[in-house]
Copies of this chain bind each other. A is one copy, B any other.
Amino acid sequence: MGCPARPERASAMIVRPRPGLLRLFFILRGSVLQRIFPQVVVVLALSGAVVLAHRSDPGRIPSFDGAPFALLGIALSVFLGFSNNACYDRWWEARKAWGQLIAMARDLLRQTLLLEQRGPEAAAGRRRLVDLAIAFPHALVVHLREGAATADLLRVLPAGLSQTPPGVPDRFLPDRILREMGAVLARLRSAGHLSDMEFVMLDGILGRMTEALTTCERIKSTPVPFGYTLLLHRTAYLFCFLLPFGFADVLGWGTPLAAALVAYTFFGLDALGSELEEPFGTLPNDLPIAALATGIEIILREGMGESGLPAAPEPVDFMLL
């Protein structure tokens, strides 16, 4: 909301066939190479300078034995491994929460079939529930993704909800949609269209949607502890910048290549971890939550027998937002 400068066409999640061997090295989209390019170039240049200085004046530039580097490098690998694992788990948990929303859309369609047989008021209640369920994931996108487009949300937001000015969805919108769905259920129950057991069953859908909302908020608001991130960053950077001094002796002009390769791997994993840690952004490896929201809308509209469904989101430039 606060950063409209971020381009709306930025996108998330790469969708492409697995490329062949040769092309593998020339893909830029989705690679973190673009983001860590400056750092890798710095390591490359530094390595060249160290080797050059080493050759021209061997005693001037300190050169170290490789053993301590191996030790630190292996320690760093292990810690980066665990850290990436934790970030991947967050990303996957976020995706599971959205999967739960998809399942809830299907459960809602199916469990409210009962209402169709209980008169027009009950059927209208069902329609209202589905309309609100269509709006919920779009509201969640706006809630979770900084600077997300609000066009889709405004297109589907049912009347009778917006007390805040249109175009400025407030931070309680997902809450209010769920509570409005609860109010519809309460009215249907009071009017005798639902037994208490059926009411509890339908409320269970709202409970699990609340759970998904809360999970997404937790992942967004609670990053991996900052001290942890900082320690890994610092160690990775210091390690890669010291690397040339350790390798110059034994590798000679192979040093820049080796150091750049190591830097690419370590900086790359570090950068990927950061992308996965906050899975609701629009970086290439983030989750396509806008596309998922449209997918839920399509499932709900198809289930209500609507024609003229929105087009299924297509990846642009191999990416899905």
**Interface segment out of the listed A49-57, A129-137, A228-236:** A228-236
Interface residues of A in 63-80 (CB under 8 A from B): 64-80
Chain A 91-133 interface 0/1 with B at a Cβ cutoff of 8 Å (1 = within): 1000110011011001101110110110000000000000000
B residues in contact with A261, CB < 8 Å: 72, 235, 238-239, 242
A67 touches B68 (CB 8 A): no
A226 touches B30 (CB 8 A): yes
B227 touches A91 (CB 8 A): no
Q: Does A1 contact B (CB under 8 A)?
A: no
Interface residues of A in 212-231 (CB under 8 A from B): 213-215, 217-218, 222, 224-228, 230-231
Chain A 34-64 interface 0/1 with B at a Cβ cutoff of 8 Å (1 = within): 0000010000000000000000000000101
A214 touches B73 (CB 8 A): no
One of B186, B245, B250 near A113 (C-beta < 8 A): B186
Q: Does A211 contact B (CB under 8 A)?
A: yes
Closest chain-B Cβ to A207's Cβ sits at a distance in Å of: 6
- Given A82-B85, A198-B196, the answer on whether A226 and B285 have CB atoms closer than 8 Å is yes
B114 touches A186 (CB 8 A): yes
Using CB atoms, name the residue of chain B closest to A211: B103
CA distance A122 to B62 in the complex (A): 80
A84 touches B81 (CB 8 A): no
CA distance A109 to B203 in the complex (A): 12
Interface residues of A in 296-321 (CB under 8 A from B): 299, 302-303
Using CB atoms, name the residue of chain B closest to A67: B66
B275 touches A227 (CB 8 A): yes
One of B18, B109, B252, B272 near A227 (C-beta < 8 A): B272
B275 touches A225 (CB 8 A): yes
B65 touches A251 (CB 8 A): yes
10 A-B pairs closest in CB distance: A110-B182, A14-B226, A65-B250, A75-B77, A225-B285, A66-B67, A196-B197, A103-B214, A30-B226, A113-B186
Q: A77-B79, A78-B80, A103-B214 are in contact. List 6 more A-B contacts (CB 8 A).
A: A66-B67, A72-B261, A75-B77, A75-B80, A79-B81, A231-B269
Question: Can you list 26 A-B contacts with CB-CB less than 8 angstroms, sorted by A residue number?
Answer: A18-B274, A27-B230, A30-B226, A32-B231, A65-B250, A66-B68, A79-B84, A79-B265, A82-B84, A82-B85, A103-B210, A106-B178, A110-B179, A110-B210, A113-B179, A175-B303, A196-B197, A196-B198, A225-B276, A227-B284, A231-B269, A234-B264, A235-B264, A239-B261, A242-B257, A245-B254
List residues of A whose CB falls within 8 A of some B CB.
Answer: 13-14, 16, 18, 21, 24-25, 27, 30-32, 39, 62, 64-82, 84-86, 88, 91, 95-96, 99-100, 102-103, 106-107, 109-111, 113-114, 116-117, 172, 175, 178-179, 181-183, 186-187, 189-190, 195-201, 203, 206-207, 210-211, 213-215, 217-218, 222, 224-228, 230-231, 233-235, 237-239, 242, 245, 247, 250-254, 257-258, 261-262, 264-266, 268-269, 272, 274-276, 284-285, 287, 299, 302-303
